[in-house]
Amino acid sequence: MRHLIVDERNNILLVTLNRPEVHNAICLGMLHELSDVLEKYWFDKKVRALIITGSGEKAFCAGADLKERISMSEDEVRVFIRTIRDTFTKIEDIPKPVICAMNGVAFGGGLELALACDLRIAAKGVLMGLTETSLAIIPGAGGTQRLPRIVGISKAKELIYLAKRITAEEAMVIGLVNEVVERERLLDRAFEIAREIAKKGPIAISQAKYAINRGYEVDIKSGLEIETKAYEVLIPTKDRLEGLKAFMEKREPNYKGE
């Protein structure tokens, strides 16, 4: 792969955006590669969590590659917007937890990528923002929809209307990131969280993700029905019985995703 580094470490997949010379800006080729990686590991039982980060020390992802964008026709821009939107939705939908380790700045599409992940960890002092309105456009890869669901509609409007850049510490206060850590601890901490999640029942994690994501979009009664259906999937699994047996025997469970 040209634009990504993919490293499978036991049951955790590390995906690194690898265009440091342009601050890991998102080009069409990167999106196709990322989509292919997600498809490849979608049903892979060995991989129980993903981490997405950026190469280099300056940027997680500075957004879309504007040098590529300026050469596009209007129809090509439409294709790019659809591709970036659909690729980020795959991140949101993949039945495995995805942790974003924000090692540097995350602007525009870079922050939208982070928003599609389940958890976000940022290095101290990292700047981020949906800055598209300063270029006379709007976030087109899910930012107008995911940001208000995470930080609330009023704060999202403030950040988007003003194309505001905020620090990791400010982002944590408003719930945009889950943790802020020292830069040298970032990947270690991401792997700590991923390993802890990987100990849990993988089918349970995937169903929890499904129930939370889908239930958040509907009224509480419909959400409870979604939760019940998700629970029903778990009842006949071997993992559920293994969890009960391990609890009774006071030992660590050995979940196999079955």
What is the distance in angstroms between the CA of the first residue and the CA of the last residue of the chain?
32
Phi, psi for 101 (deg, rounded to 5)? -105, 100
What Å distances lie between residue 140 and 77, 225, 247, CA to CA? Answer: 11, 31, 47
Which entry of 106, 116, 132, 140 is annotated as an active-site residue?
Answer: 132
DSSP-assigned letter for residue 64 = B
CA atoms within 13 A on the CB side of 181: 18
Vertex 182 angle, CA 178 and 116, to 5°: 35
Q: Is 207 helix (H, G, I), strand (E, B) or coil?
A: helix
Decide: 151 and 174 in contact? Cβ < 8 Å: yes
Give catalytic status of residue 230 as yes or no.
no
Give catalytic status of residue 190 as yes or no.
no
Residue with tokens 């019985």: 241
Which entry of 49, 59, 62, 64 is annotated as an active-site residue?
Answer: 64
Give catalytic status of residue 109 as yes or no.
yes
Which entry of 63, 104, 108, 109 is annotated as an active-site residue?
Answer: 109
Give catalytic status of residue 179 as yes or no.
no
Which entry of 62, 63, 112, 211 is annotated as an active-site residue?
Answer: 112
Phi, psi for 131 (deg, rounded to 5)? -100, 15
Question: Would you please indicate which residues are annotated as catalytic (active-site) residues?
Answer: 64, 109, 112, 132
